[in-house]
């Protein structure tokens, strides 16, 4: 069997206010280490976990959005291991019966199957003051211990690092629509499994960030290829990714799941999601990217490209919908092409800017009324993104609105024609360049405040 197979195990921190099994807050980035803790998330003897229903709601939403079969009855298990990031020496997770199974996500028209989605608690973070491999000691911060995670496990359906990256993009879009993920506050952590030509799979553990996932997979694919090319066999093992050298390194030969000695968590009752609970979760499901895209095409006549750019970002989609009333075609162009491009280019997220539907609507109306040139419209969007000045305000302040009255303009055109009679006669004999030359002169005289289309119209009348 030729080619690359990739399967991912993705860990996502859910944006609940409190932790999975206690009422400690999950947020407050300025909190000192080990201040958002209690006897439960510190694993003190005698403490008992209490399940956060909100986290289950979130996991159910994700499972529904990713087309999973739901298990409406499930329980938790203890995954035992000895490591200081878990004070109890076990992690509460799900093993036999996850919240959801057999789902899929559609990536560029292809189905990437999801084996399971389950809930578990995040371990503490270890702080190595001078890097993981050089520090003489490690500090443990239990603020993160007990924050709810979902783990999503895909089938090995991806065939390239780039496709894996697109899968993660699609996943993130869905999580953002659902509002279950603290965008920016946390990062996705991914275990990346890769094999080539039907060989053993290697797992690259704990890669954080999308770009790093793509790079780790790319490096591992290259390494395996060179091992195979030298006539050796790939061994099943667990590796790490080193950002600095952009290469993977051996951590350990792969342990099997049985080594963790899963047992049922006796301190938590079985969870039963009854039909009332389930319908309230379903009722809270928002319109997701794919149906939004189709609706934008149907309702506003957008091209598939524009519709998918807009729908792939909850914020852009919202800005577009708020401005579509002014003029759907112009709004689609300004938002999906200009605005999205400016955000991309400057690597800023819509949520970090002051851009909103009202500001864009004003610009759409100005463009619609031919009150602004395309160039200045774009300039005003850049200022809007980077400096937060609304386009209308920027254009007004800088005198960039087209506001020469038609009678004034007619006079200026006539004057220009008189001063440039040879260019005008060339234009009359059909010379396109002379036309543009005269329009350019008029635009200069009016300091760019005339509408070039109107100038051309007047010239047409004069010939
Ligand atoms: P384990 O149970 O040992 O963790 P699984 O078979 O459950 O192993 O798979 C774990 C992850 O590895 C899944 O994301 C799966 O898609 C991926 N995977 C399984 N087989 C392969 C393979 N041959 N190549 C690449 N990835 C694989
Ligand atoms: Zn706690
Ligand atoms: Mg696994």
Cα of 255 to ligand 3 centre, how many Å? 10
What's the whole-number average pLDDT of the chain? 92
What is the model's pLDDT at position 258? Answer: 66
Average pLDDT over residues 23-37: 88
What is the model's pLDDT at position 119? Answer: 98
Q: Which atom of ligand 1 is nearest to the CA of 200?
A: 23
Indicate if ligand 1 lies below 6 Å from the C-beta of 257. yes
Mutation test residue for ligand 1: of 156, 167, 196, the one with most atoms within 8 Å of CB: 156
Please tell me the distance from the alpha carbon of residue 424 to that of residue 433, in angstroms, as a whole number: 11
Q: How confident is the model over 113-135, as pLDDT tens digits?
A: 999 999 999 999 998 877 767 77
Query: How close are the terminal C-alpha atoms of the chain, in Å?
Result: 73
Choose the weakest-confidence range: 130-134, 273-277, 338-342: 130-134
- Closest CA to ligand 1's atom 17: 7
Indicate if ligand 1 lies below 6 Å from the C-beta of 199. no
- Closest CA to ligand 1's atom 7: 153
Which listed ligand is nearest to 116 at the C-alpha? 1
Cα of 8 to ligand 1 centre, how many Å? 8
Segments of 188-338 assigned E as strands = 189-196, 202-208, 237-242, 247-253, 263-264, 271-272
Indicate if ligand 1 lies below 6 Å from the C-beta of 274. no
What is the model's pLDDT at position 135? Answer: 79
What is the model's pLDDT at position 257? Answer: 65
pLDDT category at 448 given cuts 50, 70, 90 is confident
- Closest CA to ligand 1's atom 15: 7
pLDDT category at 40 given cuts 50, 70, 90 is very high
pLDDT category at 201 given cuts 50, 70, 90 is very high
* Helix/strand/coil (H/E/C) assignment for every residue in 182-199: CECCECCEEEEEEEECCC
Please tell me the distance from the alpha carbon of residue 145 to that of residue 143, in angstroms, as a whole number: 6
Place of tokens 């993977």: 248
- Closest CA to ligand 1's atom 2: 257
Indicate if ligand 1 lies below 6 Å from the C-beta of 147. no
Please tell me the distance from the alpha carbon of residue 346 to that of residue 328, in angstroms, as a whole number: 26
Which listed ligand is nearest to 255 at the C-alpha? 1
Which listed ligand is nearest to 197 at the C-alpha? 1
Q: How far from 6 is each of 102, 220, 224, CA to CA, in Å? A: 17, 11, 13
pLDDT at 166 over 90: yes
- Closest CA to ligand 1's atom 4: 257
Asked if 190 contacts 153 with a C-beta cutoff of 8 angstroms, the reply is no
Indicate if ligand 1 lies below 6 Å from the C-beta of 381. no
If one compares 132 and 309, the residue with the highest pLDDT of the two is 309
- Judge residue 461's burial from the number of C-beta atoms within 10 Å of its C-beta, 0-12 exposed, 13-18 middle, 19 or more buried: exposed
Average pLDDT over residues 446-462: 84
Mutation test residue for ligand 1: of 3, 201, 221, 259, the one with most atoms within 8 Å of CB: 201
Please tell me the distance from the alpha carbon of residue 386 to that of residue 378, in angstroms, as a whole number: 12
Please tell me the distance from the alpha carbon of residue 128 to that of residue 83, in angstroms, as a whole number: 15
Indicate if ligand 1 lies below 6 Å from the C-beta of 153. yes
Indicate if ligand 1 lies below 6 Å from the C-beta of 201. yes
Average pLDDT over residues 259-264: 88
Angle, CA 124 vertex, CA 119 and CA 129 arms, to 5°: 145
pLDDT at 101 over 90: yes
pLDDT at 390 over 70: yes
pLDDT at 30 over 80: no
pLDDT category at 192 given cuts 50, 70, 90 is very high
pLDDT at 406 over 90: no
What is the model's pLDDT at position 132? Answer: 67
What is the model's pLDDT at position 183? Answer: 65
Average pLDDT over residues 214-242: 96
Please tell me the distance from the alpha carbon of residue 274 to that of residue 214, in angstroms, as a whole number: 40
Cα of 399 to ligand 3 centre, how many Å? 62
**Residues with a beta carbon under 5 angstroms from ion ligand 2:** 22, 24, 38, 40-41
- Judge residue 78's burial from the number of C-beta atoms within 10 Å of its C-beta, 0-12 exposed, 13-18 middle, 19 or more buried: buried
Q: What is the pTM of this model?
A: 0.84
């Amino acid at each position: 069997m030729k080619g690359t197979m990739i399967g991912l195990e993705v860990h996502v921190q859910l944006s609940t206010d409190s932790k999975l099994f206690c009422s400690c807050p999950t947020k407050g980035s300025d909190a000192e280490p080990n201040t958002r803790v209690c006897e439960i998330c510190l694993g003190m003897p005698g403490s008992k976990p209490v399940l956060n229903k909100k986290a289950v709601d979130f996991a159910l939403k994700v499972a529904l959005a990713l087309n999973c079969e739901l298990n409406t009855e499930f329980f938790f298990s203890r995954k035992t291991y000895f490591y200081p990031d878990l004070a109890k020496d076990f992690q509460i997770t799900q093993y036999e019966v996850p919240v959801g199974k057999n789902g899929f996500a559609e990536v560029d028209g292809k189905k990437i199957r999801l084996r399971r989605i389950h809930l578990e608690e995040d371990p503490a973070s270890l702080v190595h003051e001078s890097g993981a491999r050089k520090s003489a000691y490690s500090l443990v911060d239990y603020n993160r211990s007990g924050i709810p995670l979902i783990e999503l496990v895909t089938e090995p359906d991806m065939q390239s690092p780039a496709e894996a990256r697109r899968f993660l993009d699609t996943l993130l879009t869905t999580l953002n629509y659902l509002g279950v993920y603290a965008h920016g506050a946390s990062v996705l952590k991914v275990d990346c499994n890769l094999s080539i030509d039907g060989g053993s799979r290697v797992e690259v553990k704990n890669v954080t960030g999308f770009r790093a996932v793509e790079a780790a997979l790319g490096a591992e694919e290259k390494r395996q290829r060179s091992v195979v090319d030298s006539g050796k066999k790939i061994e099943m093992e667990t590796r790490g990714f080193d950002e600095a050298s952009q290469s993977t390194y051996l951590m350990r030969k792969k342990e099997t799941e049985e080594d963790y000695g899963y047992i049922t968590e006796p301190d938590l009752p079985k969870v039963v999601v009854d039909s009332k609970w389930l319908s309230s979760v379903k009722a809270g499901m928002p319109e997701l990217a794919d149906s939004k895209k189709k609706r934008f095409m149907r309702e506003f006549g957008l091209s598939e490209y524009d519709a998918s750019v807009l729908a792939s970002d909850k914020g852009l989609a919202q800005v577009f919908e708020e401005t579509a009333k002014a003029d759907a075609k112009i709004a689609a162009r300004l938002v999906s092409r200009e605005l999205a491009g400016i955000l991309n280019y400057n690597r800023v997220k819509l949520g970090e800017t002051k851009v909103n539907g009202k500001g864009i609507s004003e610009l759409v109306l100005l463009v619609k009324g031919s009150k602004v040139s395309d160039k200045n419209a774009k300039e005003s969007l850049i200022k809007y993104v980077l400096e937060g000045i609304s386009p209308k305000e920027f254009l007004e302040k800088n005198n960039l609105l087209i506001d020469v009255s038609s009678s004034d303009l007619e006079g200026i055109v006539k004057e220009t024609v008189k001063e440039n009679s040879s260019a005008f006669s060339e234009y009359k004999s059909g010379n396109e360049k002379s036309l543009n030359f005269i329009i350019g002169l008029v635009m200069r005289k009016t300091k760019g405040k005339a509408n070039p289309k109107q100038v051309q119209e007047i010239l047409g009348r004069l010939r």
